[in-house]
Amino acid sequence: HKVIFSGIQPTGVPHLGNYLGALRQWVKLQNDAAPDTRLLFSLVDLHAITVRQDPKQLLQWKNESLAMLLAIGLDPKRCTIFHQSDVSAHSELMWILSGQASTGYLGRMTQWKEKTANEKENSEKLKLNLFSYPVLQAADVLLHRTTHVPVGHDQAQHLEFAREVANGFNHVYGQDILIPPQTLVSPAKRVMSLTHPVSKMSKSHPNPKSRILLTDSDELIQSKIKSAVTDSIEGVTYEQDRRPGDLAADLANISMRVLKEQVSSAVTKLVAPIRERHESIVGNESLLDDVATLGAAKATESAAPTLLQVKRAVGLCR
């Protein structure tokens, strides 16, 4: 049977890019899943601390992100929803798999190269967990015998690495202990920043106007879209040679102002019900605690057989 695993970092309130690129697909996978499909969605807080975080802020974001997973429609009865650091098997397997991860391969990862491009001269500042991030990601998916991992395009390389680690481990220890997972690349395009449209919309960009949060009010969404950077070419066109879609043709004669109004109305319609559900959940501490406790217990149980098999194979226990 299928096992679906994916994660999101609690590094801020999820934004429209996270929703269209990932979260919406999680809900669809849940709703379309066969009864014997297992689904696990994790708030990957251990990944979040590969960048320095303020402890109080991190705790708040964990809470808000958990509430958001419920607000978008994930059902804790149907899925295992958990904070990664509640399940110590993730860290344990990561350490063991580090024995399969070559530093050469890790050093060639696009994300590592991008994130460290400006720090090359100052390796004192570069921390080990940013470098070994893909090993933890490999442990996340392999631990639960995941068959399918829905992710954005930018994560495809890390999944390739996870398969390599799984095959390497199986080769050394001579058994099919780890299952190389398939990547389900999200059908959605990357949503770009509103203020700097050559980079993707991101939770951690210093300018809050660059992103639309799933908790933003209608007015805030309208004002962010109104001030979004557009080009100065008159009329609306969209990569006509690559995507000669009807949409651009329909919009060809409207002004940028009218286009922005149409976009605002579409986005507020999408966000408003999510925001309202989030508002009603985020203050409900006992509900969120219950969901986290249940998720941690289910994820711990899901992780146990693989961790035990791996430890036996390596000679760490009987």
Contact call for residue 9 and ligand AQP (CB under 6 A): yes
In degrees and rounded to multiples of 5, residue 77 shows phi and psi of -80, -30
Tokens of 109: 């990862």
Residue 191 binds ligand AQP (CB under 6 A): yes
Question: Cα(27)–Cα(4) distance, rounded to whole angstroms?
Answer: 12
| Active-site residue, from 2, 62, 115, 120 | 115
User: Would you count residue 203 as binding ligand AQP (CB under 6 A)?
Assistant: yes
295 lines the binding site for ligand AQP (CB under 6 A):
no
Element (H, E) at 83: strand 80-83
Strand 182-185 with 38-43, pairing:
unpaired
Question: DSSP state, 102?
Answer: -
Residue 73 C-beta: closest distance to ligand AQP, Å: 16
- Least separation in angstroms between residue 318's CB and ligand AQP is 37
Q: Of the listed pieces 18-26, 93-101, 242-250, 266-274, which binds ligand AQP according to CB under 6 A?
A: 18-26
C-beta closer to ligand AQP: residue 149 or 178: 149
Separation between Cα atoms, residue 58 and residue 198, nearest integer Å: 28
Contacts of 283 (CB under 8 A, 6+ apart): none
Question: Minimum distance from CB of 81 to ligand AQP (Å)?
Answer: 15
Least distance in Å: CB of 42 to ligand AQP?
Answer: 10
110 binds ligand AQP (CB under 6 A): no
Residue 22 binds ligand AQP, judged by CB under 6 A = yes
Q: Nearer Cβ to ligand AQP, position 24 or 277?
A: 24
DSSP string, 29-66: HHHH--TT-EEEEEE-HHHHTTS---HHHHHHHHHHHH
152 binds ligand AQP (CB under 6 A): yes
Question: Catalytic site residue 189?
Answer: no
Stretch that binds ligand AQP, among 167-175, 195-203, 262-270, 301-309 (CB under 6 A): 195-203
Task: For residue 154, state whether it binds ligand AQP (rule: CB under 6 A).
Answer: yes
Considering only 4, 5, 13, 18, the residue that binds ligand AQP (CB under 6 A) is 18
Q: What angle do CA 18, 81, 179 make, to 5 degrees?
A: 90
Dist. CA 170–CA 260, nearest whole Å: 53
Q: For ligand AQP, which residue of 4, 5, 13, 21 counts as binding (CB under 6 A)?
A: 21
Report if residue 4 touches ligand AQP, rule: CB under 6 A.
no
Pick from 139, 141, 151, 137: nearest CA to 109: 137
Select from 33, 2, 27 the least CA-distant residue to 14: 27
Is 298 designated active site?
A: no
Residue of the chain from 89, 151, 292, 299 that contacts ligand AQP (CB under 6 A): 151
Contact indicator for 70, 36 with CB cutoff of 8 Å: no
200 is catalytic: yes
Nearest CA-CA partner of 41 in 160, 156, 148: 148
CA-CA-CA-CA dihedral for 163, 166, 168, 172, to nearest 10: -170
Contact pick of 155, 264, 302, 306 for ligand AQP (by CB under 6 A): 155
- Contact residues toward ligand AQP (CB under 6 A) are 8-9, 11, 17-18, 20-22, 151-152, 154-155, 190-191, 200-204
Q: Which residues are catalytic?
A: 115, 200, 203
